[in-house]
């Protein structure tokens, strides 16, 4: 018996989303990663909020700092689809589950997506609470959300147009190459040394697979990392997830203001 196509499942989820939110078509999607949840209220008026489990193909949130909710938000003349949680690769649900939200957003009409995350930073000048634009990525999961002979170009995966727009809004924004490890364990100092050697500046456990799926779907991608801690071995301090969430809470006002100024221009 053949399994249901992940694209068909995304179409079904998008149709159910339209029924539950009363919004036939959304314009821009946002995925709020660890530490970003407190910033959501600055995006605009929430016209609907549903549980991810109300939609086909989604599971309950399994990580602290992710609410398991999806909001439809009206911001100016745009309908935003805001995911307050994501499925991580390390949860063991498979790559299609990791990118199901992105594919649902594309099926719901979104032409652009903002992928955010909480991550470790390799630059000591990036103190916890610093937002950094993702200029490119290195995917160390060894997996792709695309199967078959579908050769998707990733040259400008993280839109140079959107990054330039962000710097117009906030000139102080820096950018860097994001490296995804499978997780859920944090990286070793030796692995961080490898990341530095191969050109990485940010490390985390999400985002790259979602970005690839978004590009496959024809969406324009903006990636923003919130540096929540210095990467392993730089500060000499042990890493923990509560530190990630605390950095997000401390930076909530700044992140909300940043997103509130950026999203209307996408």
Catalytic residues: 187
Q: How far apart are CA 52 and CA 59, in angstroms?
A: 7
- Taking the CB of residue 163, how many other CB atoms lie within 10 A of it? 19
Q: How far is CA 209 from CA 104, 139, 151, 231, 234, in A?
A: 15, 8, 15, 21, 27
Residue 3 DSSP SS3: coil
- Taking the CB of residue 3, how many other CB atoms lie within 10 A of it? 7
Q: Write out the two tokens for 63.
A: 């990580």
DSSP codes of every residue in 168-197: HH-TT-EEEEEEE---SSPPPHHHHHHHHH
Count CA within 13 A, CB hemisphere, residue 95. 14
Peptide bond before 34: cis, by omega within 30 degrees of 0?
no
Q: Smallest Cα–Cα separation from 175: which of 153, 195, 200?
A: 200
């Amino acid at each position: 018996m053949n399994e249901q196509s992940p694209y068909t499942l995304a179409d079904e989820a998008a149709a159910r989303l339209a029924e539950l939110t009363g919004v036939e078509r959304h314009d821009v999607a946002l995925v709020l990663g660890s530490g970003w949840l407190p910033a959501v209220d600055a995006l605009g008026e929430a016209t609907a909020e549903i549980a991810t489990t109300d939609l086909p193909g989604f599971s309950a949130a399994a990580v602290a700092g992710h609410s398991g909710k999806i909001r439809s938000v009206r911001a100016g003349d745009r309908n935003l689809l805001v995911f307050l949680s994501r499925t991580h690769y390390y949860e063991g649900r498979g790559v299609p589950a990791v990118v199901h939200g992105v594919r649902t957003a594309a099926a719901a009409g979104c032409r652009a997506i903002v992928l955010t995350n909480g991550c470790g930073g390799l630059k000591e000048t990036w103190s916890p609470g610093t937002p950094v634009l993702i200029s490119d990525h290195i995917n160390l999961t060894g997996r792709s959300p695309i199967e078959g002979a579908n050769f998707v170009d990733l040259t400008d995966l993280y839109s140079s147009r959107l990054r330039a727009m962000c710097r117009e809004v906030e000139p102080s924004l820096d950018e860097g190459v994001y490296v995804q490890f499978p997780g859920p364990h944090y990286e070793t100092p030796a692995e961080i040394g490898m990341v530095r050697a191969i050109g990485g500046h940010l490390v985390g456990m999400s985002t790259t697979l979602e970005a690839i799926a978004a590009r496959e779907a024809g969406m324009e991608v903006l990636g923003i990392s919130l540096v929540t801690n210095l990467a392993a071995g730089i500060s000499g301090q042990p890493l923990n997830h509560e530190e990630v969430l605390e950095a997000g809470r401390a930076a909530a006002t700044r992140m909300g203001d940043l997103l509130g100024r950026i999203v209307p221009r996408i």
